[in-house]
Chains A and B, each alone.
Chain A
Amino acid sequence: MTTANILPQSASPTPRLPLGKGATWDGQNLKAGFLAAAAWLEQHAAALNAMNVYPVPDGDTGTNMYLTLQAAVKTVADSPTHSAAELLQAIARGALMGSRGNSGVILSQVLRGLNEGLTGKEQVSASEFAVAMEQANARAYRAVQKPVEGTILTAMREMAEAAQIACKQENSFGHLFAEVCSAGRASVDRTPQLLDKLRQAGVVDAGAEGLLTIFEGIRRYAVGDDIAARPVDIPDTMHPIPASADAPNVNIELGQYGYCTNFMVFGQDINFDAARDKLNSMGDSAVVVGDDTMLKVHIHTEHPGQVLEFATSLGSMRQIKVDNMQDQHEHFVDSHASGADLTAFATPGSTGAASPTKTFATPNAEQQASEWAASSAASGIGPGVIAVVSGSGLERVFRSMGAGRIVTGGQTMNPSTADLLDAVEKLPNAEVIILPNNGNIIMAANQVQQLTSKKVSVVPTRTIPQGVAALLAINYDTDLDSNTAAMKRAADDVATGEITTAVRDTTMNEIDVHAGDTIGLLNDVLIVAGTDREQVIRDLISKMGLEDREVLTLYYGKDMDAARVRRLSDGISVEHPDLVVEVVDGGQPFYDYIISAE
Chain B
Amino acid sequence: MDVAQVEPNPMVEDNSASPPKLGKVEVSPNAVATVVSHAVLKCYGVVGMAAHHPLGEMLRIEERNRGVDVNFDSNKRHVTIDLYVIIEYGTRISAVANNIMSTVKFAVESSLGLPVAQVNVNVQGIRVSKPNEL
Cβ contacts under 8 Å, A142 to chain B: 88, 129, 134
Known contacts A138-B134, A447-B115; A144 and B43 CB within 8 A of each other: yes
Known contacts A105-B45, A135-B134, A143-B88; A443 and B13 CB within 8 A of each other: yes
Q: Contact between B90 and A99 (Cβ–Cβ < 8 Å)?
A: no
Q: Contact between B92 and A97 (Cβ–Cβ < 8 Å)?
A: yes
Say yes or no: is A96 at the interface (Cβ < 8 Å to chain B): yes
Q: Contact between B13 and A58 (Cβ–Cβ < 8 Å)?
A: no
CB distance from A445 to the nearest CB of B (A): 9
Known contacts A439-B13, A460-B15; A105 and B91 CB within 8 A of each other: yes
Q: Which of A166-204 contact B (CB under 8 A)?
A: none
Q: Contact between B115 and A105 (Cβ–Cβ < 8 Å)?
A: no
Known contacts A143-B44, A442-B13, A460-B13; A105 and B103 CB within 8 A of each other: no
Q: Contact between B91 and A135 (Cβ–Cβ < 8 Å)?
A: no
Q: Choose, from A81-89, A108-116, A360-368, A510-518, the stretch at the interface.
A: A108-116
Give Cα A57–Cα B102 distance, bound, in whole angstroms: 10
**Chain B 23-53 interface mask (CB, 8 Å, partner A; 1/0):** 0000000000000000101111111100000
Give Cα A99–Cα B96 distance, bound, in whole angstroms: 9
Q: Contact between B15 and A144 (Cβ–Cβ < 8 Å)?
A: no
Say yes or no: is A472 at the interface (Cβ < 8 Å to chain B): no
CB-nearest residue of chain B relative to A137?
B134
Cβ contacts under 8 Å, A105 to chain B: 44-45, 91-92, 95-96, 99
CB-nearest residue of chain B relative to A151?
B44
Q: Contact between B92 and A143 (Cβ–Cβ < 8 Å)?
A: no
Q: Which of A422-457 contact B (CB under 8 A)?
A: 439, 442-443, 446-447, 450-451
CB distance from B33 to the nearest CB of A (A): 16
Q: Which of B84-131 contact A (CB under 8 A)?
A: 88, 90-92, 94-96, 98-99, 102-103, 106, 109, 115, 117, 129, 131
Q: Contact between A99 and B91 (Cβ–Cβ < 8 Å)?
A: yes
* Choice from A100, A102, A145, A447 contacting B47 with Cβ under 8 Å: A145
Q: Contact between A446 and B103 (Cβ–Cβ < 8 Å)?
A: no
Say yes or no: is A532 at the interface (Cβ < 8 Å to chain B): no
Give Cα A334–Cα B96 distance, bound, in whole angstroms: 11
Q: Point out which of B78, B94, B106, B134 has the most chain A C-beta atoms below 10 A from its C-beta.
A: B134
Give Cα A334–Cα B98 distance, bound, in whole angstroms: 8
Cβ contacts under 8 Å, B90 to chain A: 96, 109, 112, 143
Give Cα A57–Cα B96 distance, bound, in whole angstroms: 17
Cβ contacts under 8 Å, A109 to chain B: 88, 90-91
Q: Contact between B10 and A446 (Cβ–Cβ < 8 Å)?
A: yes
Q: Contact between A135 and B13 (Cβ–Cβ < 8 Å)?
A: no
Cβ contacts under 8 Å, A101 to chain B: 95, 98-99
CB distance from B30 to the nearest CB of A (A): 20
Give Cα A451–Cα B94 distance, bound, in whole angstroms: 24
Q: Is the interface on chain B under 10, 10 to 19, 20 to 34, or 35 or more residues?
A: 20 to 34
Give Cα A592–Cα B96 distance, bound, in whole angstroms: 36
CB distance from A413 to the nearest CB of B (A): 14
Say yes or no: is B61 at the interface (Cβ < 8 Å to chain A): no
Say yes or no: is B11 at the interface (Cβ < 8 Å to chain A): yes
Say yes or no: is A55 at the interface (Cβ < 8 Å to chain B): yes
Q: Contact between A143 and B45 (Cβ–Cβ < 8 Å)?
A: yes
Cβ contacts under 8 Å, A113 to chain B: 131
**Chain B 1-29 interface mask (CB, 8 Å, partner A; 1/0):** 00000000011010100000000000000
Q: Contact between A148 and B134 (Cβ–Cβ < 8 Å)?
A: no
CB-nearest residue of chain B relative to A147?
B42
Say yes or no: is A146 at the interface (Cβ < 8 Å to chain B): yes
Q: Contact between A145 and B134 (Cβ–Cβ < 8 Å)?
A: no
Give Cα A55–Cα B103 distance, bound, in whole angstroms: 7
CB distance from B104 to the nearest CB of A (A): 10
CB-nearest residue of chain A relative to B9?
A443
Cβ contacts under 8 Å, B77 to chain A: 450
CB distance from B134 to the nearest CB of A (A): 4
- Sampled A-B contacts (21; CB under 8 Å): A96-B92, A99-B92, A101-B95, A105-B44, A116-B131, A117-B131, A135-B131, A138-B134, A143-B91, A144-B88, A145-B41, A145-B42, A145-B48, A330-B94, A443-B11, A443-B109, A446-B10, A446-B13, A450-B77, A450-B78, A450-B115
Instruction: Report which A residues bind B (CB closer than 8 A).
Output: 55-58, 96-97, 99-102, 104-106, 108-109, 112-113, 116-117, 135, 138-139, 142-146, 148, 330, 334, 439, 442-443, 446-447, 450-451, 460, 488
Going nearest first, the 4 A-B pairs with the smallest beta carbon separation are: A143-B88, A138-B134, A116-B131, A56-B106
